[in-house]
Every structure is written in structure tokens, then in C-alpha cells.
Chains A and B, each alone.
Chain A
Amino acid sequence: MRTADDEVDTLRDLLSGAEAGSTPLLPLLQAVKQRVGHVSPGAIRMVAQALNLSRAEVHGVVSFYGDLREAPVGRHVVQVCMAEACQSVGCRALMRHAAQALGVSAGTTTSDGRVHLEAVYCLGNCALGPAVRIGDRVHGAVTPARFDALIAQLGGTA
């Protein structure tokens, strides 16, 4: 489990190379999310200070992009593609199954913190839908049974 101190150290590390005006904000925030898992209000404050931007400006960027989030979510992010190509092969039913199997609704995390379920709009696997992304891995032609198997393979409870 990552502690707040770890987070501050990671941020200091990332920001040490960053200077006002010379480091692009979005890649820096993506790096923070990559290393810490989210971009906390504290991180926003530190990034703003380091890049000589207002906190509102950094917060505006964090809140705009779906990939960035201000609070931690589950250990495994499970994205079900809900765009048209996947709709035509039953992603709506797959999402209903996923929500029921995990006991959550889209956009929320299981109570044990293990899985965060979310809708995503196009994973680019449109000829092999329904598509599901878990971590950096995309799975194609996912049936409810295959979905359950993929979830069962994820590491144990938190």
C-alpha cells in the first residue's frame, strides 16, 4: 500500500526535472498518474507550484481528461467498450452482466477495492467485439463467461 509520503517523494522526483514553461503539463500529469495511480489535490498543488501555473488551471486539465483522476480507484481497472461497433455485438448486455457479476455499476469500484469497472468509447478492436481492456491488455469477442474467467484471473482481493 502506497503511503502519502511515498506519493510526495514520487512527485518530488518527477518534478525535479520539470521547470516552468519547459515541461508540458499533460505528459507530467500522465506520469504522476502512472506512478501514483491518480492525481490528488496535493499533487495538483505541487505541480502548479513547480510549473508556475494556477491550481485552477491544473485542476481544469485534470478534470477534463477521462484518463486522469483525483482519487484512487480499484487495483484493476476493467474497461468495457460501449461504442457502436461493440453495441452491435451485445456490449450493452455484457456491461449489464459485468455490473451484476461484480456488484457495482459502471464508474465505481467493488467494495473490496479489487476491481474498478468503467465504460470506454472505442478500444479500436471493432471487428472483434465486444472488447474489454484490463490494464494494458485488450480482450476480444468477450462473452459473459469469458468475462467471468478474466475477472477470476485477476489477483486476489485487496
Chain B
Amino acid sequence: MLFLPADTGAVSVGADDVAAAIEACSISQALDVRIVRTGSRGAYWLEPLLEVATPAGRIGFANLSAGDVPALFAAGVPTGAHPSCLGLVDALPWLRQQQRLTFARAGIIDPLSLSDYRDTGGLAGLERARALAPQAIIHEVVASGLRGRGGAAFPAGLKWQTVHDTPAAVRYVVCNADEGDSGTFADRLLIEADPMQLIEGMAIAARAVGAAQGFIYLRSEYPLAARTLDRALHVAREAGVLGDGFDIAVRLGGGAYICGEETALLESLEGRRGVVRAKPPLPAREGLFGQPTVINNVLTFAAVTEVLARGGAAYAGHGVDRSRGTMPFQLAGNVTRGGLVEVPFGITVRALVEGFGGGCASGRPMKAVQVGGPLGAYLPESQWDAPLAYESMAAIGAMLGHGGVVVFDDTADMGEQAQFAMEFCAHESCGKCTPCRIGSTRGAEVIGRLRRGESVAASRALLDDLCETMELGSLCALGGLTPMPVRSVLRYFGHELVPAMPAPLGEEVPA
């Protein structure tokens, strides 16, 4: 039996061509092979990664191209002795040093096989939830300490409790699968590798709060994930995982980053422009169509299956401070061994980018690491020993966000990155509030002036003012957090933004 990912990342570097070459080879050599198209293990630096089942376990052949296949299969199905052979995939340090709870099945099972899912522990959480009273399910989630993995890190149990306690005839469960941050791909990876886990997690949430209808709002940039999800929902319905009092519909986004913000997402689901709503009321009280709504990210729902299967206390046993459980970090950008690294909270930036990542793919020195997506801080080497957890990141003026970690080498122009942060906000602003709508455009202009060395002192003062206005006056996190990458560049790379800028730039950290 052969296993080859059909994941977007693997396919983007030729996995489908490898599959076709293997099929052609198996016909011409009359080999009896079956290729299972899995999701990816998230070891993107090894893709396309072919795995061959042997009595000792699965052995891997990395970075294959279609041209490698004839030689690889020259003596039948390969079992080693080829330059691309990695040995047992499970024994790779990069994977062995991870602690995979949510991504334990990724790349291993057939994503659309419910029996594969069940055989690897799937559905145990839902079965347990079906034997519990709704309030008891919520108690487990509260006990787990699980916080929303989408970025805002709100305690999931508290949200569910609010939806449960709000009187209403109709309640909804909505999955925010609009993962728009650059450097993040965990939602996509999970949907393509293990969609049943998301479906199971949403079914558990529906039981906990008494919802009959769920929606998955998936970004349109993920066509392959959309196809996998449609098929998985069909399988789940046929098998009765869904359909008995709860069903899920998939809605595609329209290419608007702001729709990842939960209230903008709800507006979009209701068919309108994705303009943010003022909070309160919280969606847990008045969400989709004005009804109490559980809205969580893909990874949050996925984590819930584990919480229910093994108990909230077991999940809470991982992590540090109030950052409980594991976090799937996404190691991206200019990095040698990029991919998904699921470990307990508290790993340092350095352990991630140097240990797992192996430094820059370009072979040049690493210069900056942006943590938490386009609204996250750029950290210089002096900050790489900070632990990756909600509290410790906040303490250095950074944030974890959706767990994206993007590596830059020493050729990066940090002034350009700061300007881009404002330009991105201007591009993606929903336009409802003035600080974000206008501040972002003015911010890009001011940074442009600074980079050209024009009226440096005045521009610098103006930029500080503008950042503060955006932080305090914006309706949502887009405008409110765009100053974070900008301020981090000013603080740590200010000499690069404008060589003539007067020092010091202040070590203040926003509260």
C-alpha cells in the first residue's frame, strides 16, 4: 500500500504528477499497488512525500518528482535503498519531537474514510458527548481550559455556556474557516487531512448548545479544501454522524480578509457586505440571524473532539499558564524545514525557527520572525527566547494569533514590511470605522515619507499618534492591531525604517 498526499501544498509541488507516474509505472510493470491519497503530515519541506507500508511501518521517499518514479520503481515497489529514502517516517525527529493531538491523523489516514477515522480514535468524543447532558459537555470544555485557536483566544467553554444559557428557539454553530493570515495554513491542512474531526467537533458543539444547523464559512482561496469538505460532509451524512437533528452547510467566502472577523463573517453569511458589527451584543447572545451562536475556529472545534474523548483535565495537562493544551504552529516563509509543528504552548521562538525550522531556506542569516500573521509583531533575535504562549507574547508587545510564524532572512527590508502592514489594512478594511479606513491609508503615506527621509521628526510623531488612534479607536482587531507590526519595526528595526531617525525609539510596550 502506498500513501501520497493530495493536499494543496503537496500538489503545489507536483504530488499529482507523482501519482500519475506511479500509476503509469504500475501498469507497465504489472505491479499490484494501491495509492491512498492522504492529507499531508504537514512536513512541507519533504513534499511530495511518498510513503510505502512495510511490516516495520511506513517508510518515506521525500521531495519526489514524476521523473524520479521510473528509477524508484525499477525493481518493484521501493522498500529502501534510494537516495530519497528517509526510513521510517514516524521516526523522523521533526515529527517525533512534536506532540500531535489535533493533527495526530494528518497525512496518515484517508481523509474521506470514516472507518479510518474511527480506527484511529475518531468519533469517541461525539459518542461520549451523546451520553452526556449538554451542561456536562460544557463542563468538560471549561475544564480543558481550551481557548479559541483563531487568534482572539477567548475561552471556548465560556462562549458555549453563554449560548447555552441564552433563551432562544433557534441556536447556530458556525465554524470560522476564513484563515486569512499570511503564514497560516493549519485550518486548510486539517480540512484536507482530517475533515471528520471538524465535523465531529461541530456536532459536539451542536449537542452542547442545542443547535440544529451549522455553517462552515470557508475562504474561497482554498478550492481543494472546499471539495474535500463537501465530500466529507456527504460521507458523514450517509453514516449518520450528521443528519440526526444537526446538519452542516458550507459557504464560500468572497475573498475578503475582514470576513475572518467573527461579526463580519456573520454579516457575510447573512448575505451582506462583510462589515463588522459593534460588540456588544456578543454573537453568543445575538449572532447569526440574531440568534445565539457558537462561532469558533476550525482548530477549536477539532480540539474539542480530543477534550471530550479523553476528558477536559487531560487536555489541560499540556501547556503553560492560561495557555492550555497544544498549539499547531505554522512555520512558514524563508525557512528550511517549513510546515506544521504541533507542540504544547511555551516552546520558544528560537526552538521553533532554529530547532524545527533549521534556519533560512536561503542559507542566509535569519533577521526577523513575524508571529501571529499580518497583524503580529516582527521579532528580532533578541526576542527569540520568548515562549510562544498568549501571556508571554503579550508581555513583549506581540501576539500569537492563529499561530503563524514567518521567517525572514537578512535581505528583508523592514521599512517595506512596516509600510505593507498599513497598505494591507487599507486594502482589507471594511470601511465602517474611521481610524481603520482612513488611518491605514494615512499610515502607509507617513511610513513612505519616513522611508524617504522626509520631515522625519514630524512624521515620526504623527505615526505614533496615528497608531494610538487606530489601537484605541478601531471597532475590530484589523484596525486595532495593524499598529503592532508597525510599532515592532519602529522598536526593533527603526534604524532601517529611516537611517536618520533619532534614537531612542522607546521601549514601551502597549498594554
- Evaluate contact between B409 and A88: CB separation under 8 angstroms: yes
A122 to B333, alpha carbons, bound, how many Å? Answer: 12
B194 CB contacts on chain A under 8 angstroms: none
Nearest A residue to B223 by beta-carbon distance? A136
- Evaluate contact between B427 and A121: CB separation under 8 angstroms: yes
A89 within 8 A of B: yes
Q: Which of A25, A122, A128 contacts B338 (CB 8 A)?
A: A128
Chain A proximity mask over B156-186: 1 for CB below 8 Å, otherwise 0 = 0000000000000000000000011111110
Q: Which of B254, B335, B339, B408 contacts A67 (CB 8 A)?
A: B254
- Evaluate contact between B420 and A138: CB separation under 8 angstroms: no
A98 within 8 A of B: no
B331 CB contacts on chain A under 8 angstroms: 127
- Evaluate contact between B221 and A124: CB separation under 8 angstroms: yes
- Give residues of chain A (102-158) contacting chain B, Cβ–Cβ below 8 Å: 120-129, 131, 133, 136-141
Nearest A residue to B270 by beta-carbon distance? A24
A65 CB contacts on chain B under 8 angstroms: 253-256, 273-274
B183 CB contacts on chain A under 8 angstroms: 83-85, 126
Q: Which of B220, B251, B404, B409 contacts A126 (CB 8 A)?
A: B404
A27 to B272, alpha carbons, bound, how many Å? Answer: 11
Q: B431 to chain A: closest CB distance in Å?
A: 9
Chain A proximity mask over B10-23: 1 for CB below 8 Å, otherwise 0 = 01110000000000
- Evaluate contact between A24 and B251: CB separation under 8 angstroms: yes
A-B contacts, CB under 8 A, total: 144
A138 to B227, alpha carbons, bound, how many Å? Answer: 14
- Evaluate contact between A85 and B332: CB separation under 8 angstroms: yes
B252 within 8 A of A: yes
Query: Contact residue range for chain B?
Result: 35 or more
Nearest A residue to B339 by beta-carbon distance? A127
B412 CB contacts on chain A under 8 angstroms: 87-88
B213 within 8 A of A: no
B44 CB contacts on chain A under 8 angstroms: 127-128
Q: A134 to chain B: closest CB distance in Å?
A: 11
B440 within 8 A of A: no
- Evaluate contact between A126 and B11: CB separation under 8 angstroms: no
A138 CB contacts on chain B under 8 angstroms: 8, 11-12, 224
A67 to B406, alpha carbons, bound, how many Å? Answer: 26
A86 to B151, alpha carbons, bound, how many Å? Answer: 21
A30 CB contacts on chain B under 8 angstroms: 220, 252, 254
A132 to B338, alpha carbons, bound, how many Å? Answer: 18
- Evaluate contact between B223 and A89: CB separation under 8 angstroms: no
A17 within 8 A of B: no
B268 within 8 A of A: yes
B185 CB contacts on chain A under 8 angstroms: 124-127
Q: B186 to chain A: closest CB distance in Å?
A: 9
A124 to B225, alpha carbons, bound, how many Å? Answer: 11
Given known contacts A25-B272, A84-B374, A131-B12, is B182 in contact with A126 (CB within 8 Å)?
A: yes
23 A-B contact pairs sorted by A residue (CB < 8 Å): A26-B254, A64-B273, A64-B274, A65-B256, A66-B254, A66-B255, A83-B374, A84-B333, A84-B370, A89-B361, A120-B221, A120-B255, A121-B374, A121-B427, A122-B221, A124-B179, A124-B221, A125-B9, A126-B332, A126-B406, A127-B332, A138-B224, A141-B13
